Structure 1
Amino acid sequence: MQLGVLKALFTDKLTKLYRLSEAENIFYMVLYYLEKKSKTAVLLGQETMLGDTYVTLLQSLMDGKPVQYVLNEAPFYGLDLFVDETVLIPRPETEQLVHWILEDHPNFQGSVVDIGTGSGCIPLVLKKHWPNAQVSGCDISTEALKVAQRNSKEQNLDVIFFQKNILTEELEPYDIIVSNPPYIAHSEKDDMHENVLEYEPHIALFVDDTDPLLFYKTIILLAHQQKSTCYFETSEYYRPELDNWLKEHNFSFVWQLDFQDKDRLLKVTFD
C-alpha cells in the first residue's frame, strides 16, 4: 500500500475527532514511530505494509486516546520522553516556559526544583542545558515519579526526583522554583476536550473551585521565605486575581505571552 493511501485512510478516520491538520500530524507521528519515515516518504509515494500494529494504533486513536499515550512518547524541547496516563502530556507552552528560564539564567550553576514534575520534562531539559546545576523535581504521585525516573535514566540526565506534598510539607531552599501546578477548577470540566478528561491524570489538572490559586499562593509564599525566583505556567483567566494578590504582597512579577498571545507564563521575584 502506498503511504499516501495509508495517510488518507488514517486522516479520514481521525477527522471525526480532530481538525485535518491535527489528524495529519498524528499520522506523521505514527509513521515515524513505526517506520522511522518522514513526510518526504509519503510525497515520494513509498510503499508500506498495513500491519496489525497500524490497525491497533488507529483504533486507540479513534477511541480518543491522545497519540502521545498511544505511542508512549512525547517530544519536548529536543528530548523524546516516555509518557503514560499517569502524567500530563508535555505542551508547547511549557517548552516556552523552559526557554524563558534558560534565557534568564545562562550557564546557571545553582539549585532548581520543579514542583509537580510529572514526566520530569522541565528538570530534564534544564539539566541538559545546565550540567553543573543541582536540578530536582518533586511530585505527590508515586506513579508520576516512576515515569520521571525512567526518563532520567533513559536520557542519561542526573536529576533528583522525590515525593512531596507541597501543601502540607516543608521544602528545602532552592535558587529557582518552577511549577505548572493544577489550576483548572472542577466547574470548568464541561469546557475541556473529551480526550483530556478521559485520559490525562485529574490530580495534575484540577484544583478546588473555592481556591483555584491555592498552589500558586503556597509556592510563592514559600519562595518569598527562601528568596527564590519563581516561574509558573497558569491560566490567562487568573491574571487579574494573581496581579492583585501579588501587588498586595509587594512582590515583583512579570508576565510573558504564550504562543497564542495569552497571559500564561509568570515570573515572580523578591528583593
Structure 2
Amino acid sequence: MMTFSGLACSRRIARLAESDSPRRDAEILLGHVTGRARTWILAFGETTLSADEAARLEALLVRRQRGEPIAHLVGQREFWSLPLFVSPATLIPRPDTECLVEQALARLPTAPCRILDLGTGTGAIALALASERPDCEVTAVDVMPDAVALALRNAEHLGIANVTISQSDWFSALDGQRFATIVSNPPYIDAADPHLAEGDVRFEPLTALVARRPGAGRSGAYHPRGTAVSAARRLECCWSMAGLRARRFARCSAKRAIWTSRPVATMATMSV
C-alpha cells in the first residue's frame, strides 16, 4: 500500500520531471484525491491510501506527465484569493493577471460606478473587482457560450451578486451601455510564437491566446485598434490606460481622434 510520504519518494514523482515543481504537483493531486489539505498531507505522511485513492491518483499523475495543467486536473484555480472553477474552454487564471485588478481598483472612482470586463473567461477579473467593490455594478462578457456558463457558475458559487455575465462578441450585445472603467486581458500572442507549443497553453483555447488580424473573419477576433476605438466610445468620460499595451492603444487613439475634450470630474479608465 502507498503512503503519503512514500509517494514523495516514488518513481511517480520522477515521471513529472518536466514540471517546475513535481513534488508540489503530486501533493496537490494527492490532496484532491483524498480531500485533505496539503498541510495535513505533510503532517501525516504515514497515512495509507485506499486502493481507490491510489488508482485515481495514478490516473491523474499519468495525465500530468502528459502535460495537462494541474488546474484542469483538479478543476479549480485560485485567483485574488477566490477559488474558481476552470475548464479547457477558457484560459487558466494566472497570478500575474492580478496586477490588472490592482490597476483597475487604483483607478476606480470612489463613488459607485459601472465596470466592464471584456472576454471574461472564467470571470476571474470581473469577480475579483466585484468582490472588492460591492457598491459597483460589474458587467462581464465573452463570445464563447462555455466561458459564459463557467463564469456564471463561479459567480453563483462565490455568492457574488453585483456582476452580470452574458454572451457578447465584444461590444455587440451591450446596446450602447457606458462604463466608468473597461478592463480586458485579450488575446495578444502571435500565432507563430513557439511558446504556444509549450507548457499549459497547449491545453488552452487558441482563441483566447492568439490575436487575429483585422479582416480574418473570425467571430470574437481581437485587434487593438478596433477594440480601443470601440472601448473609448463606451467610456463615460475621457480615458487613460495602464499595462504593457498602453503605447499601442495611445497611437490608435491619436490616429482615430477618439480623445474627448469634454470637462470631466473623474478620469474613466481603460486598462489592458
Q: Same fold (TM over 0.5)?
A: yes
Residues 171 and 140 (structure 1), Cα distance of their counterparts in 2 relative to 1, 3 Å cut: farther
Could you say which residue in structure 1 is the equivalent of 2:123? 120
Match of 2:183 among 173, 178, 186: 178
Q: Which amino acid aligns with 1:204?
A: A
Could you say which residue in structure 2 is the equivalent of 1:202? 206
Shift of 1:223: 2.8
Could you say which residue in structure 2 is the equivalent of 1:63? 66
Could you say which residue in structure 2 is the equivalent of 1:102? 105
Larger radius of gyration: 2
**Paired residue secondary structure (1:138):** strand
Q: Does residue 137 in structure 1 map to residue 140 in structure 2?
A: yes
Residue by residue over 1:27-76, the C-alpha shift from the partner in whole angstroms, topping out at 9 and shown as x without a partner, is: 23223333323246426534231521111111111121101011111111
Residues 241 and 211 (structure 1), Cα distance of their counterparts in 2 relative to 1, 3 Å cut: farther
Where in structure 1 are there 5+ consecutive unaligned residues? 253-266
Q: Whose strand fraction is larger, Structure 1's or Structure 2's?
A: 1
Q: Which amino acid aligns with 1:33?
A: H
Could you say which residue in structure 2 is the equivalent of 1:32? 31
Residue by residue over 1:208-259, the C-alpha shift from the partner in whole angstroms, topping out at 9 and shown as x without a partner, is: 25799953322321232233556676xx5x676456445656889xxxxxxx
Q: Does residue 14 in structure 1 map to residue 16 in structure 2?
A: yes
**For 2:257 and 2:251, how far apart are their aligned partners in 1?**
10
C-alpha contact (below 8 Å) 2:31/2:41 kept by paired residues: no
**For 1:240 and 1:193, how far apart are their aligned partners in 2?**
28
**For 1:211 and 1:28, how far apart are their aligned partners in 2?**
47
Identity %: 23
Shift of 1:147: 0.5
TM-score by length of 1: 0.78
Shift of 1:122: 0.8
CA RMSD of aligned residues (A): 3.0
Residues 97 and 8 (structure 1), Cα distance of their counterparts in 2 relative to 1, 3 Å cut: farther
**For 1:200 and 1:147, how far apart are their aligned partners in 2?**
15
Q: Does residue 147 in structure 1 map to residue 150 in structure 2?
A: yes
Match of 1:160 among 147, 160, 164: 164
For these two proteins, the number of residue pairs brought into alignment is 248
Where in structure 2 are there 5+ consecutive unaligned residues? 260-268
Match of 1:217 among 216, 222, 225: 225
**For 2:144 and 2:242, how far apart are their aligned partners in 1?**
20
**For 1:201 and 1:73, how far apart are their aligned partners in 2?**
17
TM-score by length of 2: 0.78
